[in-house]
Structures are given as structure tokens and as C-alpha cells.
Structure 1
Amino acid sequence: MSIYRSVLGDQYKRLHPKLQKRYEVPFTAKGVMRTIKGGPKWLYPFFLAGVRFKILFPEYGKDIPFTIRNTPCTGSNGEEQVHWERIFYFKNKKRYFNALMRLDSKKNLIKDYLGEPKLFYSDLAFHVNDSGQLKIESRCQRLILLNLEIPMPRMLQGMASVTESYDDERNIFLIKVAVKNPVIGTVFTYEGEFTADEIS
């Protein structure tokens, strides 16, 4: 059983059948981000620094090709984990937004470690709405320094909201992501569509 099926529990049955298969790893897909938008221009150095950690990037635009690869792996304590590799292709540049996720069964959350090496940590809450869409929202966040996880004040956090759905008419997955900060507002957003390499 995947960590996503575990965290959703009975809600999993309400998830669109294609999304059920999408969250049974391994999973690979390719698609197009119709829009990628950044926040205030003064955040550019922060996003540029994120390139080194494969977590953020300063580029934005329209109709950006991208790929997703979700790969199951095993942690040092034997727990199931999923590595996320997201690559965005900006002309002659490849930009990454990578993460390692694992299940916190006690809190019924997904623990999302962002960056390579890990730079941020965020709790993720999963929910299925009445339309069979998957909604993901970030909760508690921490900054990772060596082996320390330092709680971040809410005013410094980037709270993510993700919606994934499936368009039966076009046979395609849809995704919409927005990351916002309570002080500066929108940090970045992207919206696009993708098709799985192999899914029935």
C-alpha cells in the first residue's frame, strides 16, 4: 500500500480512479506548465539560491515543458519513502523542484523534505473533495540545518495549496499549485497538465 493511500484512508475510494493510479508509485509523466509565475522581484536572489538545492528557481513563463518522476525508496529505518523529481525545461536550462516524502502515521500526514540536500520540511495534509479531486495543503514548516529541524515563524513560511484532478474528456491530468506567505502574499504559482507514461 502506498503512503498516499495510507494517509487518505477511506477517502481514497472517492478519489478519481486515474488519480488513484497516479498515486500508486512508481509513476512517471510529462506535460506542460501553462503558466509559471514568481512573486516580488526582490525575491530573485532567494529563488536563484534555491537552484543549488533543486528546490526553487527564478525563471517563469508560459507553456514550459516538464516531467514528473515518483520513485519508491526505503529509509534508513526501513520505512517506505517516495522521491519526487520534477524537472522544468526553460529553453537551455533545466530547473528542479525535488522532494522526499514519507508517512507520519501518528499524525496522519505526509512529511515532505524539500531540496537536495534537504533544506526545508513541511507537513502535508491530503484531502479528497466531492468532485474526486485531490487537495494538498502544507502545515507546520521547519528549516533544516545539518541534523537540526528549526521551526519557522509563520511570517517566514510559504504555505502551499495544491489541486490535482483528471479531465475525462481530454484524458489528461491537471495540476494547480500556489505558494503564499502571510506577509508578502504570492511567492510563486504554476498551473499545467500532464499525461502518464504508462497508466491504464
Structure 2
Amino acid sequence: MTIYKHILGDQFYKLHPMLQKRYKLSVGKKFKATGVMKKISGGPKWMYPFFLLGTRWKFLFPEHGLNIPFTIVNTSLIGPNKENQVHWERTFYFKNNKRYFNALMSLDPANNSVKDYLGEPSIFYSDLVFFVTEEGRMLIESREQRIVIGNIEVPLPRIFQGIVHVTEYYIEEKDVFSIHVLIKNPLIGTLFEYEGEFQTNDF
């Protein structure tokens, strides 16, 4: 059972059938897709150095734009401590740069959430909770967040957090997945946002 089926329980079967196929992902298998981000935008200009620094860890980036090609690869695997993990590799192809937004997810059954370690090596942690709408869409929201410094994890007060909202659904008329990711801070507002569509030949 994948971490997503486990966390959603019976709700998993309320997802659109194509989202069920996408998120069941057996151990050792990959989900690969290509698409276009209709828009990628971010926070105020003074944050540019921080986002540029984040590219060293494949975690966020300062570039913005419209109609940006991208690929996504999800790999289901077993981690060193024998827990199920899913590696996320999101690659964005800007005119002059290739940027990444990578993560490693695993299950936290005690809190009924997914552990999301962002960056390579990880520099940011977020608890994620998953929901399914009546229309069969996947909703993902962040909860507790921490800065990761080596083996030390420092909790972030909510006022300093990047609060995450993700919506993913399937558009049957176009035979595509649609994704919208929004990261906001209570003080600054929008820190990072992308919205686009992607297709797969994996099934």
C-alpha cells in the first residue's frame, strides 16, 4: 500500500480514477509526466537572493514566467529505515536555466500525516495532510514546519511559515492532470505559486 492510499483510507477510492492510478504507485515504480506551467510566480523582489540560494538544494528558485515546460517524476521506494517513501523530482525548463523543486515524502501514522522533506539534501520540513473533494480532486495542506540543519530540526512559528495549499485534479475533456500549488506567508503574502497541466504515458 502506498503512503497516499494509507493516509487517505477509504477516501482514496473517491478520487478520480486517473488520480487513483497516479497515486497508487507500487514500490519500485515511477510515475513520469510532462507538461506546461501556465504561470510561475513568487514573492517580493527583495527575496530574490533567498530563492537563488535555494537552487543549491533543488528547493525553490527565483525565476518567474508563463508557459514554462516542466517534467515530474515520482519514484516509490523503501528507505534506509524500511519505510515506504516517494521521491518527487519536479524540473522546470526556463529559457536560460533548468530549475528543480524536489522532495522526499514518507508516512507519519502517529499524526495521520505525510512527512515532506524538501531539498537535496533536505533543508525544510513540512507535515502534509490530504483530503478528497466531492468532485474527486486531491487537496493537500501543510501543518507543522521546521528548518533542517544537518541532523537538527528547528520548529518554525506560524508567522514565519510558508503555508502550502495544493489542488490536483483530472480534466477528462483534455486528458490532462491539472495542478495548482500556492505557498503563502501570513506577513508577506504569496511566496511561490505555479499552475499548469501535465500528461503521462505510464498507463
Deviation readout 1:13-43 (Å, 9 max, x if unpaired): 1100000011122211000000001111111
For 1:119, which of 104, 118, 123 is the aligned residue?
123
TM-score by length of 1: 0.98
TM-score by length of 2: 0.96
Contact 1:143-1:150 at 8 Å conserved across structures: yes
Matches within 5 A, 1:32-111: 32-111=36-115
Q: Distance in 1 between matches of 2:114 and 2:46?
A: 31
Q: Which runs of 5+ in 1 are unaligned?
A: none
Alignment-derived partner of residue 21 in structure 2:
21
Q: Secondary structure at the match of 1:23?
A: helix
Task: Letter of the 1:13 partner, please give it.
Answer: Y
Alignment-derived partner of residue 184 in structure 1:
188
Alignment-derived partner of residue 134 in structure 1:
138
Q: Distance in 1 between matches of 2:166 and 2:143?
A: 13
Q: Distance in 1 between matches of 2:128 and 2:176?
A: 24
Q: Secondary structure at the match of 1:62?
A: strand
Contact 1:109-1:124 at 8 Å conserved across structures: yes
Q: C-alpha displacement at 1:72, in angstroms?
A: 1.4
Q: Distance in 1 between matches of 2:176 and 2:166?
A: 17
Contact 1:30-1:197 at 8 Å conserved across structures: no
Q: Distance in 2 between matches of 1:150 and 1:197?
A: 41
Q: Structure 1 segments of 4 or more deviating over 3 A?
A: none
Alignment-derived partner of residue 143 in structure 1:
147
Q: Secondary structure at the match of 2:159?
A: helix
Q: Distance in 1 between matches of 2:156 and 2:192?
A: 19
Q: Which sits farther off after the overlay, 68-77 or 159-168? A: 68-77
Q: Distance in 1 between matches of 2:145 and 2:13?
A: 29
Q: Which runs of 5+ in 2 are unaligned?
A: none
For 1:31, which of 20, 29, 35 is the aligned residue?
35
Task: Letter of the 1:24 partner, please give it.
Answer: K
Q: Secondary structure at the match of 1:32?
A: strand
1:170 paired to 2:174: yes
User: For the aligned residues, what is the CA RMSD?
Assistant: 0.7
Number of residue pairs matched by the alignment: 199
Q: Distance in 1 between matches of 2:177 and 2:130?
A: 17
Percentage identity across paired residues of the two chains:
60
Q: Distance in 1 between matches of 2:13 and 2:24?
A: 13
